[in-house]
Structure 1
Amino acid sequence: MTEITIELTDCPKEKPAADELGFGHYFTDHMFIMDYTEGKGWHDPRIVPYQKICLEPSSMVFHYGQTVFEGLKAYRTPDGEIQLFRPDANFRRLNHSNERMVIPPIDEEFALEALKKLVDIDRDWVPDAPGTSLYIRPFIIATEPFLGVHPSKNYLFMIIMSPSGSYYKEGINPVKILVEEKYVRAVVGGTGEAKTGGNYASSLIGQLNAEKEGYAQTLWLDGIEKRYIEEVGSMNIFFKINGTVITPALTGSILPGITRDSMIKLLKSKNIPVEERRITIDEVIEAAENGTLEEVFGTGTAAVISPVGELKYLDKRIVVNDGKIGEVSQMLYDTLTGIQYGKIEDPFGWTVRI
């Protein structure tokens, strides 16, 4: 791979105040971009000022949805340094999505070096207020100008970054989740385990319906029997039942979350029983009715961990742990964010200093 060329902005943006950040509203001064051309491979890597891109209306991403993306964060430590959390896992997963969506693989080591260079250039954009971070979005889109159903011959790989506050307005307080009963998000053999735009587009109707009923997110069931729990729109999901933490197994229709994997490793390190297996909504309801459903929480890069205080399924409304955050949820949140922000030791080797 050739050297990354760098063009710095001559018109830096004004940075928003920490209490105005929200999630995904503001973008840093620079971005990374690289082209793919069939027969030439990935080429012309560059860091340039954040700007609009020019695509033809016939670009294949608009018509056939050939696109993948990732999400990770940079954190400011107490000593003012910047660190990433498991970025190598994100680029491995990006290539897994690439394979499913027939997009040429990227060089993972080169992508990480490009990311580190980009973060270093825009390091002043990493906020230092509690709970804030720099959200990072790598993505690839098909750009060949052609109306025909086949893999594109041209692509753009880009990385943009956004200083962000809490993903949910509720913060670490428990959220309310509506179990989707009509629509499905993915099936085994489909694209559910790839991080591609179409998966999220298909989830929007469920999200909209949940919001209309006053719920923060949708919990999706499997696409065949509509009994087995899969994931929430932006999170993997965990249930603590009678002392054991259970999360749906990765069967091919669930996104293999990096935060999910981190939580499983943390639970095992704390000697808390954890199982990856199929779990039905009926089992969760039964546990709620007999008093063994102790905690429910979602995990994801954006939200980190979101305790669930209420589940609604059909005519059943399940209040979890009196609508309060549970002991295990709090421990996991404190431990993972402590590692991410450099406040406690990282025994797993997950963090990467910039």
Structure 2
Amino acid sequence: MTQKNCVQILLPILSPLIAIASALIVGAILILVAGANPIAAYTALFQESLSTYFGFGNTLTKMTPLLFTSLGVLVALRAGQFNIGGEGQIYLGALGSTLIGLYIQGLPAFIHVPLALFAGFIFGAAWGWIPGYLKAMRGVNEVITTLLLNYIAVNLVSYLVQNPLKAPAAPSPYSPLIAKSAQLPIILPGSLAHAGILLGLITAGILWVLLVRSPLGYQITAVGFNPIAARYARISVERTIMLVMALAGGLAGLAGATEVMGLKYRLFEQVSPGYGFDAIAIAFLSRGSVFGVVLTALFFAALRSGANVMQRSAGVSVTVVYAIQGLTVLFIAIALALEHRVKIIRNS
């Protein structure tokens, strides 16, 4: 194997790891400046989130929406589209599954659960299809439309849980409980971990097959790599963009559906604490790899899961965790720029 081939193979693997390591090092400096022990802080952070029973269950719970939404961002990126609307698609997916859980009663769980999940997927897919249609048929930038649709979705759900969907005598805006038959089972008794994480991992495997081993995956990659060449290959660029954005929205919709069906059992005004925006960072860190999305989603979920424990035991504010997430994105951006520069130099 030539030196050039080694560089091409190792760079995509090493750059995310270096970015994460660099972010943790800078985070350690911030912890030192705050007057705390970084070793004790990181020990509390990762020991709680990965090695304790309840903590690991909490990590899996937070990983579930991150994984679904990141897969949605990833599949859009493969087609050259930037789906910034994961947050809104989560809200719509949560709304869809809630409606099925509330207003369809008397079904056995083996029918009710898939039906509610399907509704969440369809609601999210419809929300993702809108910017896909606008981009494909009208040339409207998908970054703008997906970002603006986030605000519409959040405010739509807020209106519904404050008015027609609000539970009777509820002290704050939330819906009634969904039917028991529409709830996802707990997979780790005594923890918050539910079957949504298993569904997410299965979905990741299916998406990998779709992108890597199927004609549709080739079509999506061709459109993302060179839409002009894709047209010469008789691939409908417009139809592919709409399909991909709908699929991206549907995956994010499943994130919202599993939050309602597996964790909260009702629709709250604040469905997501920013999972849709974390998913953008996760997708970029994964470097286009479905397996990378799974690992990076686990890392981000562990940060979220152990943050409060770190604050209690080591006296370090949870804002350090958000700083580490931001630094990770910054370093991966630097790594991508350097990698691009190396390619230009080697090809010149």
Taking structure 2 as the reference length, what is the TM-score of the superposition?
A: 0.23
The two structures have a TM-score, normalised by structure 1, of 0.23
Q: Relative contact order (alpha carbons < 8 A, sep ≥ 6): 1 or 2 greater?
A: 2
Structure with the larger helix share: 2
